[in-house]
């Protein structure tokens, strides 16, 4: 079972936490979606999705932006995977753009799309990072929207009810958990990188998740951070930031580690972590850029 949020019966102390707070084999990863990260909407014979159409309608996106480029992971996935490896991530959850594989939603497979995802997966495996693939993350092919008017079948509801009723305590992966902060163009880089609220958010969730596993017997096997990078956030455009890496949209989409990236790197290398200023000094982060 794959969930986008977590909860626990009890709140526990979260002053410190290590990788050893979780069972052997517990997966730490980061997550993305194709439309929010890839860009390159007019490359590789990709077809239009409903979001390509929607973003062209005036006033639909808060800052009037689109995801034509976003953080350009289509061209930069090699270096982004290097960031994951450096952090100590075990896995990467990404979605496959339906219209990269089937430009018209169905019919013949697009070989350029297959080549891209094969390269992405091969690079992850070569770095020792396990791919977790999402088949659909909102980017329905426009051709299918025109033909069928979107997702209308009640069979999806029946499937969800069946899974709930038949399976007991299934293995759970938290495939997305994160928080946003307002994209404030008037603060300096040092302050933008000092995202203590994001650290507190993930630390508290992970502490309670560890308790749910150890004390409540919940079969939770993984936690995926949303997200590795700041990115294009649907109707909000670029007005919010979710990443543990800051993306400098005015400087060639440069990736700069935030304090939260340093926090996760320390956690995933099995060291005790806390919120002390010495462990999260933003000057050190800028020196690591």
Q: Which domains does the chain have, with CATH numbers?
A: 2-288 (3.20.20.80)
Q: What pLDDT shows up at residue 167?
A: 80
Q: What pLDDT shows up at residue 289?
A: 45
Mean per-residue pLDDT, 175-192: 94
Alpha-helical regions (H) of 177-272: 189-193, 196-214, 259-268
pTM for the complete prediction?
0.86
Tens of pLDDT, residue by residue over 239-289, are 999 999 999 999 999 999 999 999 999 999 975 555 443 344 544 544 444
3-state helix, strand, coil in the chain (%, to 5): 40, 15, 45
Distance CA 204, CA 211 (A): 11
Q: What pLDDT shows up at residue 6?
A: 43
Phi, psi of 156 (to 5 degrees): -65, -40
Average pLDDT of the chain is 88
Tens of pLDDT, residue by residue over 213-222, are 888 888 899 9
Phi, psi of 194 (to 5 degrees): -90, 75
Q: What pLDDT shows up at residue 161?
A: 59
| DSSP string for residues in 63-82 | TS--SSSTT-HHHHHHHHHH
Tens of pLDDT, residue by residue over 134-167, are 999 999 999 999 998 877 555 655 655 565 678 8
Higher pLDDT, 99 or 165: 99
Mean per-residue pLDDT, 33-45: 98
Sheet containing 2-3, strands listed edge to edge, beginning at the edge strand earlier in sequence: 2-3, 172-177, 220-225, 27-31, 91-95, 130-134
Distance CA 196, CA 111 (A): 44
Distance CA 140, CA 74 (A): 19
Q: Is the pLDDT of residue 126 over 70?
A: yes
What letter would DSSP give residue 188?
-
Rounded to the nearest 5 degrees, what angle is found at the Cα of 177, between the Cα atoms of 210 and 201?
70
């Amino acid at each position: 079972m794959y969930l986008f949020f977590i909860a626990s019966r009890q709140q526990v102390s979260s002053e410190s936490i290590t990788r050893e707070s979780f069972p052997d084999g517990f997966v730490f990863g980061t997550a993305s979606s194709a439309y929010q990260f890839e860009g390159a909407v007019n490359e590789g014979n990709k077809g239009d999705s409903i979001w390509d159409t929607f973003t062209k309608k005036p006033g639909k996106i808060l800052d009037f932006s689109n995801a034509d480029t976003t953080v350009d992971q289509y061209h930069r996935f090699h270096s982004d995977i290097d960031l994951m490896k450096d952090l100590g991530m075990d896995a990467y959850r990404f979605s496959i753009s339906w219209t990269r594989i089937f430009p018209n939603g169905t019919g013949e497979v697009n070989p350029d799309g297959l080549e891209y995802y094969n390269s992405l997966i091969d690079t992850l495996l070569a770095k020792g990072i396990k791919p977790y693939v999402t088949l659909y993350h909102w980017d329905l092919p426009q051709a299918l929207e025109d033909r069928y008017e979107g997702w209308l079948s009640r069979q999806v509801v029946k499937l969800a009810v069946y899974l709930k009723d038949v399976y007991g305590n299934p293995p759970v992966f938290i495939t997305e958990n994160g928080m946003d902060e307002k994209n404030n163009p008037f603060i300096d880089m040092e302050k933008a990188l000092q995202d203590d609220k994001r650290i507190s958010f993930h630390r508290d969730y992970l502490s309670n998740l560890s308790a749910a596993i150890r004390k409540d017997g919940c079969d939770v096997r993984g936690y995926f951070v949303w997200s590795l990078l700041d990115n294009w956030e649907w109707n909000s455009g670029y007005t919010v930031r979710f990443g543990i890496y800051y993306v400098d949209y005015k400087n060639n989409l440069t990736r700069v580690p935030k304090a939260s990236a340093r926090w996760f790197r320390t956690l995933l290398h099995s060291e005790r972590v806390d919120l002390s200023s010495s462990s999260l000094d933003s000057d050190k982060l800028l020196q690591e850029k």
